[in-house]
Amino acid sequence: MLLIENTSHLRVLDRYQRSVPSPEGVGIIPYAPIVMRNDRDLLSDGFTPCARVEVNGKVFFLIRSSDSRLVGQDSFGYQALHRRASLLGDTVEILRGNRLLIQSVRRTARHYLATGVRLERLFVHEGLTYVRQLTGGQKGFGWVTLTQSERGSIWRVITTAAPPPHLQTTEVISRVETVVREANGVLAGLFSFLNQQTGENKPAPRWEVSQDGDAIICTLRSEMTPTSFQESTAQLARSLETVVLATRRRVIAQPGRIELR
């Protein structure tokens, strides 16, 4: 779980790998939890290093520089990476005031929570709960200690975390087809360049999307053997993983064939 003070310095792409002009405009605000889904990933071009992340349930890519550091990192201000954190996502209410302390993100200041204050529980790390204060005088992010022994007397859960949204197969297929079209465009451009260099006229390979029951199958059609396109398969599989993040599917890849089940 990554926390950053000055998120405006991030270079962000959306799930379709389009540039995001304002990180804060898409919810990547200061100190909002950034879930690291793949810390060392590549964009669909196969060579741009990035981190694949999730914020408020949406997938983004944070671009890395050639030295593997996030672009803009020197201007982030406070930044902290909390490994092995447990995601939450529910809302709690304080039942008895002046009993629980909330600490600032940097843990340099703290104050008591009043009766009736509501907190969104975001994640737990090393016994502390990272929250966003929703009501009360001092809204914002911070750390609290919520013990089970005090549940029901000092605090209570008022809304439970929503399960991941289940996308219909037709919607998943539509998103898969968008990603596949982009991959086919890259292959077409590559083979056009190679044909110009060699004087040959080899047809570009193409990925095709089909269904087998509830499974979605991507098959590479080419005059060459599937093993010749292991890297192309791996790149497309990485892109398709962003499609299935909000589903119960998983990506199964082998040279020339990718299944989403």
Domain with CATH 2.30.30 in the chain: 87-159
47 pLDDT band, cuts 50/70/90, is confident
* Phi, then psi, of 153 in degrees rounded to 5: -110, -40
Q: How far apart are CA 22 and CA 204, in angstroms?
A: 37
Percentage of the chain with pLDDT > 70? 95
- Is the separation of the CB atoms in 128 and 144 below 8 Å? yes
* Phi, then psi, of 147 in degrees rounded to 5: -90, 150
Q: Which residue has the higher pLDDT, 236 or 137?
A: 236
pLDDT in tens, 125-181: 888 999 999 998 788 999 999 988 899 999 999 987 655 555 567 778 888 998 899
DSSP 8-state assignment for residue 188 = H
Rg of the chain's alpha carbons, rounded to an integer?
23
Q: Which residues contact 181 (CB under 8 A, 6 or more apart)?
A: none
Tell me yes or no: is domain 87-159 CATH 2.30.30. Answer: yes
Q: Which residues contact 62 (CB under 8 A, 6 or more apart)?
A: 10, 11, 12, 34, 50, 51, 53, 70, 71
pLDDT for 245: 62
pTM of the predicted structure, to 2 decimals? 0.64
pLDDT for 229: 83
Q: Which residue has the higher pLDDT, 30 or 212?
A: 30
Q: How far apart are CA 1 and CA 147, in angstroms?
A: 22
Nearest to 48 by CA among 186, 159, 197: 186
pLDDT for 60: 93
235 pLDDT band, cuts 50/70/90, is confident
